[in-house]
Structure formats: structure tokens, C-alpha cells
Amino acid sequence: MTEYRPDDQQEEETEDFAQLFESTFKEPERLRPGQMIEAMVVKITPEWIFLDVGRKGEGYLDRKELADAEGNVSVQEGDRIHAYYLPGKGQEMHFTTRIGAGPVGHSQMMNAFKAGVPVEGAIAKEIKGGFEVRISGSLRAFCPFSQMGLRREDDRAAVIGQTFTFKITECGERNIVLSRKAMVELERKSQAAALRESLQEGMRVQGRVTSIQKFGAFLDIGGIEGLLPVSELAWSRVEKVEDKLAVGQTVEVVIKRIDWENNKISFSLKDALPDPWERAPELWPVGSYHFGTVSRLAPFGAFVTMGEGIDGLIHISKLGAGRRVGHPREVLKEGQSVEVRVEGVDTAAKKLSLSLAAVSRAQEEEAEALEVYRQRAESSSGGLGTLGDLLKGQPGSSDKDS
């Protein structure tokens, strides 16, 4: 039995199906010369590598582009690669990963320039204003220093003989000008886009120090640059960033905060290091004596550095040995080495309570003497003299002999 449906419902379903059909089988936009795409390798032959480019038919590129000196191809069927579209005859979809892997003529360079296809070249030597670049071993080109994408600390001589990928910025009858910087920036943008999808707060990443400022250091984690604040450099107080880091240095950091809306990301170096407070009770048990350095004086007491990231406090009430102290500077000075006694450890609050060792020892000796006096008093019915006599080591002593 046929189910009855109102005409308007049948018409709506017909329109929905038509829209679905159109969106599913919509012809993709035409490829532009020099356009970069990501494609999957579907077949490898002795001469060509065929690609699935998401369109009718397959694209192809020269096998030699992805083969080493022995002819071994660096990809397998199913791998995805990036390639640039080169206009061909008829419906052919010819792609390349770069120009320069084989013999190259000036006409090919002109086509690459017009299509925006990168070229591969080796740095031959340093010349006035830049480097001479050899493409396919014979064709000469020029790359200015400013377009090499080198950092200030990079050694120019070290790039001689190395092979890089360049963008053609000028292509005349005699002069060919290249830019590696443009390719580096393009690669960084691609890396940054990929990182945005994977980065999360709390992750550990490797970063390269690109700049040092008073307030911290900037790190490059592969296309994305962020700030490592001076407060996140170590568990201990850091006065100068240069004392901990150097430009070009690679460090492991933890992603502290991500703000993609404002394109800001911050790191922490200390979070990547062991928390010294986890071993505080073991290293500085209550009642133990240690030497530390007075790091800061405050109206309420003196801070003493015990180890990396561990500062303890001697309260001002424990500085005077019974007398009133107006300010810790009356007893101690910054930078002074001092022996202290650990009075308390609070790992949750990251607090270490201290006292001066000399004062504590005097109090301990007095307490021990008092305990001895009490024990003797309890065990003897005779007179033991005064507590003052006991403390002097002369129980029952008098000024005159009887």
C-alpha cells in the first residue's frame, strides 16, 4: 500500500535530494598554475608516480624527483605528498615537487617563475650582497643575504654546498633572483597550521630560543613562536635571562597557556623540571641543621635560600635570641652564609620555617639542662642547688666553703 504524503512534503524532500546530489558531485575548482596540493600516491612505475588529486583522472610527476642516487624512491603507495601543478597539454595534470632535480633550461625557469613553482639549487659561493646558486649544476642564480632566511647567529660559510628550495622572485634574460626566505615562511605557515590542531596546554614541546628580552625569552617550536616569561625559567629567582638561556639554544618546555584568538602562547621551563618541594621533607627534615644564604630581608623576617627553588623564612621573632629586633638587617645581611635549623616543612604551601642555629642550639642546651635537673630532683631527696648552679655545671655550689 502506497503511503500518502502531502505534495509540499514530497516537493521539500525532492529539493533536499537535489541539493545533496549537487554538493556530492560538484565539480572541483580548476587548478591554478603553481597551486600546491596534497595528494595520495596511488601507483609507482619505472618512470612516473601517479597521484590521486581528488579530481577526474590522475595526476603524475617524474619518479626521479623522489628518487635518490641509487634510484630508490622515498615514498610508497598510500603515502601523501605535497606537489605543485604545472600546466600541461590537453587534460594532463602534471605535477612537480620542485624544479631543478633534472636538466633545467631558461624556458623552464621562466615557466616556473610564472607558475610560482619552487626551484631547487645548491649554494655555490658567497658573492657581493648574497650567494650564487647553481640550479641543476649549470644554471646560475642569485639569492640576496636578506632572502636567505638566515638568523643572525647562523654561519654564512656553513651553507656553502648545501641544497635548498627557493622561490623565483625575478626571471630575466640574464638575471635570476631567488628567495629562500619566502619558502621558509610558507613552510612555517604550514607547520603552524598543523600545530594548531595538535597543541594543548600542559604538553611538553621542544623550543629553540630566538630572542632574549628583560622579561623573558621567545621560543620557536616549529612554525609558532611564544614567550617563556622570566618567572617561568626556574624554580629559583632569576635576575637575568642570559644566566639561564642563550639564543639558538634548544630547551624542553611545557605549554602554559594558549590563546589562539590573540595568537599568543606561553611556556614554562620550570614546569618541565622536577619540583624541588617534592623532596623537601627528605632533604630538610624538621630538626635538622643546614647552611644557607640570606637572599632577601623583609620587615617580618629573613629569607634564606637552601637549594634550587627552595627558600625558607626566619621570622623576625626568632632573630633576637630573646631581645627585640626592629628589622632583620640588625642581625643579618643579604648574601651572608648562615647556619639554620629547620622548624617546619609545608610542601603544599611551599613553605620552610627556619630559625638561627646558634639561638636554637642555646635553647636546646637550656632545655636539656632543665630536663637533667628535673630528673635529678625526682631521684634524690637531697638538695641539688639551684637551676642556675646546674647550668653553670656546679650543682650545690656556694660562694664560701662551710
Q: Give the whole-number percent of the chain exceeding pLDDT 90.
A: 31
pLDDT in tens, 215-257: 999 998 887 889 999 999 988 888 899 988 998 899 999 999 9
In this predicted structure, the answer to whether residue 327 has a pLDDT above a threshold of 70 is yes
pTM of the model: 0.50
| C-alpha dist (Å) from residue 10 to 5, 17, 366 | 7, 11, 101
> Where residue 367 falls among pLDDT bands split at 50, 70, 90?
low
In this predicted structure, the answer to whether residue 4 has a pLDDT above a threshold of 60 is no
The overall average pLDDT reported for the chain is 81
Q: How far apart are the first and last CA of the chain?
A: 135
Tell me the chain's radius of gyration from C-alpha atoms.
Answer: 38
pLDDT in tens, 7-35: 555 555 555 655 554 554 455 567 777 67
Sign, CA dihedral 154-159-163-167, equals: positive
CATH superfamily of 201-272: Nucleic acid-binding proteins (2.40.50.140)
> Where residue 390 falls among pLDDT bands split at 50, 70, 90?
low
Per-residue pLDDT at 24 = 47
Average pLDDT (206-212) is 91
Domain ranges of the chain: 36-96, 106-184, 201-272, 276-360
d(CA 199, CA 219): 15
Written out in words, the top-level CATH class of the domain with range 106-184 is mainly beta
| CATH label, 36-96, candidates 2.30.140.10, 2.40.50.140, 3.30.450.40, 3.40.50.300 | 2.40.50.140
Instruction: Please answer whether residues 59 and 97 qualify as being in contact, where contact means their C-beta atoms are separated by less than 8 angstroms.
Output: no
Rounding to the nearest 10 degrees, give the CA dihedral for residues 124, 126, 132, 138.
-30
CATH placement of domain 276-360: 2.40.50.140
